[in-house]
């Protein structure tokens, strides 16, 4: 039996589709943070050498991309 101690963990393990689209904000240059349903959904960071890096909500690397659009799309399709 799996014991979950928080609602956040329970939500992270469910496969229900996201009800609202991700909301993107840029709190500083070269950083975009996504939220969905009021919870952190990941971020995209720009580095001149590496391009745009997409990082998921549990700090997993989702990939490196040549454009911001592709990096955001990587997070949006998996949420």
Contact between 72 and 62 under an 8 Å Cβ cutoff? The reply is no
Alpha carbon of 9 to those of 34, 58, 63, 64: distances in Å? Answer: 18, 11, 23, 26
| Chain centre to alpha carbon of residue 37 | 12
Domain ranges of the chain: 20-78
**What predicted TM-score, i.e. pTM, was given to this entire model?**
0.72
pLDDT in tens, 18-77: 567 999 999 999 999 999 998 999 999 999 999 999 999 999 999 999 999 999 999 998
CA distance 73 to 69: 6
């Amino acid at each position: 039996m799996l014991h979950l101690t928080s609602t956040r963990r329970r939500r992270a393990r469910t496969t229900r589709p996201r009800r609202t689209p991700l909301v993107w904000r840029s709190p500083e240059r070269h950083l975009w943070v996504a939220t969905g349903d009021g919870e952190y959904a990941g971020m995209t960071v720009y580095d001149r050498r590496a391009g745009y890096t997409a990082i998921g909500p549990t700090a997993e690397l989702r990939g490196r991309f040549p454009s911001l659009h592709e990096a955001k799309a990587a997070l949006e399709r998996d949420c």
